[in-house]
Structure 1
């Protein structure tokens, strides 16, 4: 997992932003909850979904490299896909976060989104092969 390359403080930022994003559509799916539980367990982060009051600017300031920002966006897009679709509200929120990170490059965002989608396709294809 690419989040292994982040500091513990940066992983906390990813979790906080992901929990905040999951609640964006006012409907946190079972898949999103499982992702957040898995992430918190993997990195020893307290599992707490109430992230509506986080200071996003302060959180983003902890992502002090392009690599950390790209990994964070990748994780946020990944949780957005967990409920089966990358909704418009989620896309808008991620694009806004990317702009605040100084990554308002549409091509880069599209590449990250394609990377995540290909990962999901790869897992799905493997599951189909193993079942078939």
Structure 2
């Protein structure tokens, strides 16, 4: 999936990153590598300086503004990426999960859709872990 084929507007790309910043902040552990990652992502998405500043500012904001996306495809893509990002450390915390469900509700996405995405991510993690085990077959 190419992000630029799904998120087509500056506003959608900016909101995508702002939402992910707030998700990253949910656990309370913010390190500089996360901030650097999002700065690079904003540049990679070719966001304007104004949008990059908005993403940067979101690290210090307490309340996330409403995320606006063009359509359900963009909303679901945000949720997919958010759930995958939450699982990157093999730990999808209750705080992260609550955040995802709250945002999904705000975006008018059903719990059933979120549950399907969660199952897809979980299946992907299992698949990846099985691949890692294959590396030890001959050892």
1:120 positional shift:
2.5
The TM-score with structure 2 as length reference comes to 0.72
**Alpha carbons 1:14, 1:75 under 8 Å: kept:** no
1:32 positional shift:
5.8
Q: Go from structure 1 to structure 2 and tell me whether the alpha carbon gap of 1:107 and 1:49 turns closer, same or farther (over 3 Å shift).
A: same
Pick the structure with greater CA Rg: 2
CA RMSD of aligned residues (A): 3.0
2:8 matched to which residue of 1? Answer: 7
1:122 matched to which residue of 2? Answer: 127
1:118 positional shift:
2.0
Q: Are 2:33 and 1:24 aligned? A: no
Q: Which has the higher helix share?
A: 1
1:85 matched to which residue of 2? Answer: 91
Structure 2: gaps spanning 5 or more residues: none
CA distance in 2, matches of 1:38, 1:130: 32
Matches within 5 A, 1:1-132: 1=1, 3-4=3-4, 5-9=6-10, 10-28=12-30, 36=38, 39-40=41-42, 42-44=44-46, 46=52, 50-51=57-58, 52-53=60-61, 55-57=64-66, 60-61=67-68, 63-103=69-109, 105-130=110-135, 132=137
Q: Go from structure 1 to structure 2 and tell me whether the alpha carbon gap of 1:125 and 1:12 turns closer, same or farther (over 3 Å shift).
A: farther
- Give per-residue Cα distances to partners, 1:16-60, cap 9 Å, x unaligned: 111111111111379966864674464345596652426521xx2
**Alpha carbons 1:80, 1:90 under 8 Å: kept:** yes
CA distance in 2, matches of 1:126, 1:30: 31
CA distance in 1, matches of 2:43, 2:27: 24
1:125 positional shift:
2.6
SS for the counterpart of 1:56 is coil
